Structure 1
Amino acid sequence: MPARRAITGRSQEPRKRFAEELRSLRAERGLTLRKLGDVAGWDWSLFSKMENGETLGGPEVVRALDQYYGTPGLLLTLWELALNDPNQFKERYRQYMTLEAEATSLWYYAVGAVPGLLQTPACAQALLSAGGMDGEELVTQVDARIGRRGLLSDEGAPAFRAILSETVLRTPLPDRNDWREQLEYLLTMSEQRNVIVQVVPHAVGPHALMNTDVMFLRLPDGRTVAWVETDFSGDLVNEASSVERLQLRYDRVRDLALSPAESRKFIMRTLEEASCEPSI
């Protein structure tokens, strides 16, 4: 078994270091990308994108490469470092924003917060502040987030479906008036022809996306990519089989959601509750 390679002495940028190691290992074996795809059992085009730094791939393919190259845990460690690199998150998000602007349709599942495209300024400020942002950066990011809302109202706006966990509607903003305004905005946006809003009630029980915020983007060339996000990081998923697995989960959750009409009624009831004065 070959000795584990040292991390030092090569690129110190996690994503570049990961791609560099992939290229080096394949070159040592004298393999073409197509041959690597044949022997490792994955589409060679995915390996090409990973080696060019266009995508990190998923943990399954990285483990398969570790096994094939006889580098137990090395590639997976480098992959995890690249995945959690703060600078990489910013770069991935810039890529996502570019694709979002080009998308012909979008569909989203929200675990605990109103989707960015449906947030009011007060909601955006409260959520970004809760994440630790303040000062000039907070002002800039709120403006940028609110500016994105035009995507759904401009001429030729894409179709957008947002499925919200009931948790989204049961987690109010600190200011009651701000929260009422946010719920009213959800109702207003749900009336647009290109926007569908659905709610998954708590009563449905466990489901396939309980801990996963995910946005799917259908691109002009027919491809679908996904953006998966937590409070700490996000990842742009390009690999077709991974997107397909996420899409299947999304479809199962959509089957559990209330219809658009029933979802509007649910939001209206939540708004009525939020409009009631608190008991003294």
Structure 2
Amino acid sequence: MITVRASIVTALAYAAEEVRCCLGRQATGRGDVAEDVDGERESGRAVLGRTLKFLREKAGKSLGQLADDTGYDKSYLSRLESGDRLSKVTVMEDLDGYYGAGDLLVRHWRAARLDAFKDQYKEYMGLEATARIMWLFSPGIPGLLQTEEFARGVLSGAQTTADGDEVVEEQVAARLGRQYLLRQKPEPEVRIVMDEFALRRPAARGKAWRDQLLHLETAALWPNVTLQVLPFSAGAHHHMTGSLTLLWQRDGSAVAYKEGNGCSRLIEDPDEVLRQRLSYDRLRDLAQSPSDSRTFIRDVVEEHRS
């Protein structure tokens, strides 16, 4: 936690309110807070950086002073303000608390994180952010339940460029940011069917895999999450090559999203969404019950320990 001097709390609160007025933006239901600048749409990351700089300057702080107060590296804070780096959501939570800004920075961060995803994925991300019910099948560990180290290992394999490490870190931050959805209020109801394959291909590092398994065991107990394992004994099935997600909004509208073999598709046609729901139901019928799935995961944890 960041300790803030009592003498500047009031000034920072006024600054936070002023930035809301000066920037003149209201977040939409999909968390989109970007605006048009000189006829071109400004990226969410640029909006976030400008907001960070505005709050700091209104508080009368230099980057060095902010670094001293918060414990974050000065160069790191500078890159956040310039839009060159995407932080984890916890950094924005800390700075919101520091400036007394409510959830202003977190809201801007939700839009900025979309910059780390391909355009074809962004529409789905917007729908995921407002969904009240989520059903997901994944042949691997789903991103919503990945630990930081496991996600870093998964995402590192595809990066071969000189700036690969930085790209990976931004993708890790964006992926972990999706997990913020599971604890927002009201919490979405989430059902995840995960192939046994996901539990049989460990991370390269033993500790990362052990922590990932323990996280799955914990997540299976969350009140808004139902986790089921589809065992090998269920045999071949119709979603072995990709994932399927079904989302329901507050108004009852639904979409399906499929990924696999390097392709992705957002499905909005009601008849096709219904067919995808029925295919999900068949998978769920083949999966172990939630209680048996928890036992299965615990057994895998014990196997790993031994």
Query: Which TM class, normalised by the smaller chain length?
Result: 0.5 to 0.7
Aligned counterpart for 1:152 among listed residues 182, 200, 204: 182
**Contact conserved, 1:212 with 1:230, CA < 8 A, in 2?**
yes
Q: Which runs of 5+ in 1 are unaligned?
A: 1-88
Aligned counterpart for 2:141 among listed residues 83, 93, 114: 114
- Give 3-state SS (helix, strand or coil) of 1:210's partner: coil
Aligned residue identity for 1:156: P
Aligned residue identity for 1:167: F
Aligned counterpart for 1:105 among listed residues 101, 124, 133: 133
With the length of structure 1 as denominator, give the TM-score of the two structures. Answer: 0.64
1:208 CA displacement: 2.7
Aligned counterpart for 2:216 among listed residues 186, 191, 195: 186
**Contact conserved, 2:190 with 2:224, CA < 8 A, in 1?**
yes
Q: Percent identity?
A: 39
Runs of 4+ off more than 3 Å: none
Closer, same or farther in 2 for the Cα pair 1:200/1:259, shift >3 Å? Answer: same
- 1:9-158 to 2 correspondences below 5 Å: 90-111=118-139, 113-132=140-159, 134-158=164-188
Query: Within 2, Cα distance between the matches of 1:131 and 1:244?
Result: 34
Aligned residue identity for 1:257: A
- Give 3-state SS (helix, strand or coil) of 1:271's partner: helix
Query: Within 1, Cα distance between the matches of 2:158 and 2:229?
Result: 25
1:131 CA displacement: 2.9
**Contact conserved, 2:159 with 2:168, CA < 8 A, in 1?**
no
Q: Which residue matches 2:39?
A: none
**Contact conserved, 1:164 with 1:199, CA < 8 A, in 2?**
yes
**Contact conserved, 1:198 with 1:259, CA < 8 A, in 2?**
yes
Aligned residue identity for 1:268: R
Q: Give per-residue Cα distances to partners, 1:131-187, cap 9 Å, x unaligned.
A: 336321111010111111121122211010110110011011000110010010011
- Give 3-state SS (helix, strand or coil) of 2:237's partner: coil
Aligned residue identity for 1:186: L
Q: Which residue matches 1:244?
A: 274
Q: Which residue matches 1:218?
A: 248
**Contact conserved, 2:241 with 2:261, CA < 8 A, in 1?**
no
Q: Which residue matches 2:13?
A: none
1:231 CA displacement: 4.9
Query: Within 2, Cα distance between the matches of 1:119 and 1:245?
Result: 29
Q: Relative to structure 2, which stretch is displaced further, 125-134 or 169-178?
A: 125-134
Q: Which runs of 5+ in 2 are unaligned?
A: 1-116
Q: Which residue matches 2:264?
A: 234
**Contact conserved, 2:210 with 2:304, CA < 8 A, in 1?**
yes
Query: Within 1, Cα distance between the matches of 2:288 and 2:158?
Result: 30
Q: Give per-residue Cα distances to partners, 1:177-235, cap 9 Å, x unaligned.
A: 10010010011111111001000100111223222311111012211101111252211
RMSD between superposed Cα atoms in Å: 1.6
1:262 CA displacement: 0.2
Q: Which residue matches 2:236?
A: 206
Q: Which residue matches 1:50?
A: none
Higher relative contact order (CA closer than 8 Å, sequence separation 6+) = 1
Query: Within 1, Cα distance between the matches of 2:191 and 2:236?
Result: 21
**Contact conserved, 1:208 with 1:250, CA < 8 A, in 2?**
no
Query: Within 1, Cα distance between the matches of 2:118 and 2:205?
Result: 30
**Contact conserved, 1:208 with 1:252, CA < 8 A, in 2?**
no
Q: Give per-residue Cα distances to partners, 1:6-28, cap 9 Å, x unaligned.
A: xxxxxxxxxxxxxxxxxxxxxxx
- Give 3-state SS (helix, strand or coil) of 1:108's partner: strand
Number of corresponding residues: 188
Q: Which residue matches 2:113?
A: none
1:110 CA displacement: 0.7
- Give 3-state SS (helix, strand or coil) of 1:188's partner: helix
With the length of structure 2 as denominator, give the TM-score of the two structures. Answer: 0.59
Query: Within 2, Cα distance between the matches of 1:168 and 1:231?
Result: 17
1:244 CA displacement: 1.3
**Contact conserved, 1:162 with 1:196, CA < 8 A, in 2?**
yes
Aligned residue identity for 2:214: E
